[in-house]
Amino acid sequence: MHNNRYLRDEIIRISGVNTAKCMKCGKCSATCPAYDEMEYHPHQFVNMVESGDITPLLNSDSLYKCLSCFACIDRCPRGVEPAKVVEAVRLFAVRKQGANRMTANDVPAIVDEDTPQQLLVSAFRKYTK
């Protein structure tokens, strides 16, 4: 299994984000539209990756609650880009699983005619390798 240092370095490499720049102000989380749905919030993702406490993130459904709307990126006064950290952790989790979390055959059961097409495109971008 991967050690914490490797996980941290790999997620930082994938995201391209300097997590050390985070001053833990919470503005990113305050603007997150998925805040109430997430166990871990954007600022917590950044802080946990920076500290190497990544295993809880890999096992959290918060990975799949992020809308990839980038509101947290726009709001960050330090340019940390928390959404890119969330996406990097999600990509690492999907690669670790060795499979996609969702397939095209799963879609009809979870959508209806009012589901925005943008949501579907975002979901496939997010849940596929």
State the pTM of this model: 0.74
Greater confidence (105 vs 129) lies with: 105
Residue 12 has pLDDT above 70, yes or no: yes
Exposed / middle / buried, residue 3 (Cβ in 10 Å: 0-12, 13-18, 19+): exposed
105-122 average pLDDT score: 81
74-84 average pLDDT score: 95
Give the chain's mean pLDDT.
87
101-121 average pLDDT score: 79
pLDDT at site 99: 58
**Alpha-carbon gap, residue 15 to 20, rounded angstroms:** 13
